[in-house]
Amino acid sequence: MSRIIRIVVLVVLGLVWLVPTYLLVVNAAKDPTTFTTKQSWIPTDFHLFQNIGDALTLSGLGNSILSTAIYSIVSPAIAVVVGAAAGFAIVALKLRRGFLWFVVIFGGTVFPLQMILLPLFDGYSRVGLYDTRIGMVIVYTAISIPFSAFVMRNFFTGVAASVFEAAVLDGATTWRIFTRMYLPIASSALVAIFILQATFVWNDLLLGLTLTQSDDIRPIVTTLSGMQSTYGGAQMSTVLAAAVLVSLPTVILFLCTQKFFAKGLALGQY
């Protein structure tokens, strides 16, 4: 097919694809007092920042953002190190029956979340972790570990065994070899896993819905879902502004790191 036709097809299709985003931004920027659901296509005013400000105080979205930032930074950060430690044990330290332990850890991602929701809810309620930040950090960490271990095991397989041998001859302890040599070599892989998992945690609905109830603990997407049901009628432009606010960090992160995403996705994360 000729170049021109391809470009025309892509541009037309691309414009169609941008329509929902256009409608989101245009309507999120409308003044709630004059907002009407009957006139969605034409921009009227630019009230976006005021609407975002309003959204922050609605349903405690502001507190929710703080909690979600903690979850999506702390959990993936712990998970990449724990996953790297497992990969280090299996590959560099030649853990006996290492492949079996790898399968045990990786197997944690193959079933749907539905399989663990109720017992987590039940268990969390019993031990006092229900509706707590620490409880959310723990569960998001556990869920991020299998993928992290999977990537790090593959990564460390590519590190020559002589690196480890040389360090041992220098008298380094395994802890020192792990923290001073293996983690630094793996920094690009660690960052890739971190970005993928942070996005996953930021966009999570189901665990937030199941394991939290108060405004300042609830993750942001769960809060947005609640806002949609509660204020979707009267304050639609505020809800749309909240959707813009919730989406911005992951959209920017994704567009800046496309290649990492694609690699991670090809490895089985979706």
What's the closest the beta carbon of residue 14 comes to another protein, in angstroms? 4
Distance between CA atoms of residues 254 and 250, nearest Å: 6
181 or 236: whose CB is closer to another protein?
A: 236
What's the closest the beta carbon of residue 65 comes to another protein, in angstroms? 13
136 or 217: whose CB is closer to another protein?
A: 136
Verify binding: residue 6, another protein, rule CB under 8 A.
yes
What's the closest the beta carbon of residue 268 comes to another protein, in angstroms? 7
Verify binding: residue 50, another protein, rule CB under 8 A.
no
Counting every residue written for the chain, the total comes to: 270
- What is the secondary structure of 23-88 as a DSSP string? HHHHHHTS-TTT--TT--SS-----HHHHHHHHHHGGGHHHHHHHHHHHHHHHHHHHHHHHHHHHH
Where do we find the tokens 């990564």? Answer: 155
What's the closest the beta carbon of residue 118 comes to another protein, in angstroms? 5
What's the closest the beta carbon of residue 46 comes to another protein, in angstroms? 18
Verify binding: residue 247, another protein, rule CB under 8 A.
yes
Site for another protein in 59-98 (CB under 8 A): 82-83, 85-86, 88-90, 93-96, 98
CA dist 250 to 77, 107, 137, 173, 257, Å? 17, 27, 19, 39, 10
Site for another protein in 115-144 (CB under 8 A): 115-123, 138-139, 141-143
Verify binding: residue 172, another protein, rule CB under 8 A.
no
